[in-house]
Amino acid sequence: MEKGNKKLALLVGCNYPNTRNELHGCIYDVLAMREVLVNRFRFDPNQIELLTDAPGSSVMPTGANIKGALDKMVSKAEDGDVLFFHYSGHGTRIPSRQPGRPFRQDEAIVPCDFNLITCGGLIDKEKEQIGPSSIIQESQKLCSSKPKTIPFQSILEHLSSLTSINTSDIGTHLLEYFGADASIRFRLAPHQESELFEFLKPDEGILLSGCQSNETSADMSPIEGGGKAYGAFSNAVQIVLKEHSDPLSNREVVMMARKILQEQHVEQHPCLYCSDENADACFLLQPETES
C-alpha cells in the first residue's frame, strides 16, 4: 500500500455482561461495522482492531487498553491516512474541572472497567454542522430500548466501592484505583487541563455522534421475532449504507440516519461536528465503484 494511503480502525464494543448496566447490541454493532469496513470501504482486516467484552475475549476494552490501542493506531498513521474509531457502549457526564465553569458537565465514555475516558477537545474545536433538534416523535415502538448512559452518581458509587474513599471528586477515585492508567485529564491540575486543549487546532477530525448532548443513545432489543439487539444509531448508519451503494458525504450519512431514526420513532438526533470541507467529504473516503 502506498505511503499515506492506509485505512486504520479501532472498534470498541462494551456490553457489560452480568452487571446491572448490561447492554445487548454493542458487540453486534462493532462486528457489523467491521464487515462493512472491509467489504465496502476496503479496509485491510489486519488493520482493524476489535476490543469487546464478549466472553473469552483475550484483550478486554478497559480504559488502558482502549487508550493503548488508540496510541498504537495514531503512531502508525501518516499524512493522508484514514483513522476510524467506533465506540459502542455506555457514556456518562461528569462535573467539569475547568476553572470558571462550575456547572458545566463533560462527556466521557465508560470502558468495561469504569476507567473513564473523557471526550473533550474534538467538538470544542470543530464546527457544528448538524446539531440540536427539538423534534420529538411519540408513537408506538417496535423495539424496547435501554439508554446507553450511566448516571454520574452510579459511576461515583461504583468507584467509591473500589477505593473506599469518601469523596465526590471522580478524579480522586480514578487516580487512586487506576494510577497512571487514568486519563490524563485527571492527572493534571485544572489550569493545566485548560492549557492542554488550547494546543488543539480546528479541522483535526470528524465526529459523528449518535445523539445530542442532552440526549442518550439507545440500545435496541426487538420485542418480537427474536432478532439481534443493536445500537440505534449504528443500525441506522448500516441501513443508510445498504440502501445507497454510491459514495455518500458525512453530512448525507448523518441526515439520512436522522431520518431513519425519526421513522423508527427513536428519540435521538445524531450530530456531525467537523469543518465545512469535511462535512461534504466522502464518508470514509469510499473508493469509486469500478465499472
Predicted local distance difference test score (pLDDT) of residue 128 = 82
User: How confident is the model at residue 138, as a pLDDT?
Assistant: 45
Position 17 scores a pLDDT of 95
pLDDT, residue 48, reads 98
Task: Kindly give the parts of the chain with pLDDT less than 70.
Answer: 1-4, 97-103, 120-125, 133-145, 190-204, 222-227, 288-291
Dist. CA 92–CA 76, nearest whole Å? 30
- Residue owning grid cell 456531525: 272
Give strand pairing partners of 145. 220
pLDDT at residue 286 in the model: 80
**So what's the pLDDT on residue 135?**
47
Number of H helices, E strands in the chain: 10, 12
- Contact, 218 vs 148, CB < 8 A? yes
Q: Is 86 a catalytic site residue? A: no
Q: Which of 14, 86, 90, 274 is catalytic?
A: 90
* Active-site pick, 24, 119, 265, 282: 119
Annotated catalytic residue 90: yes
Q: What is the pLDDT of residue 199?
A: 61
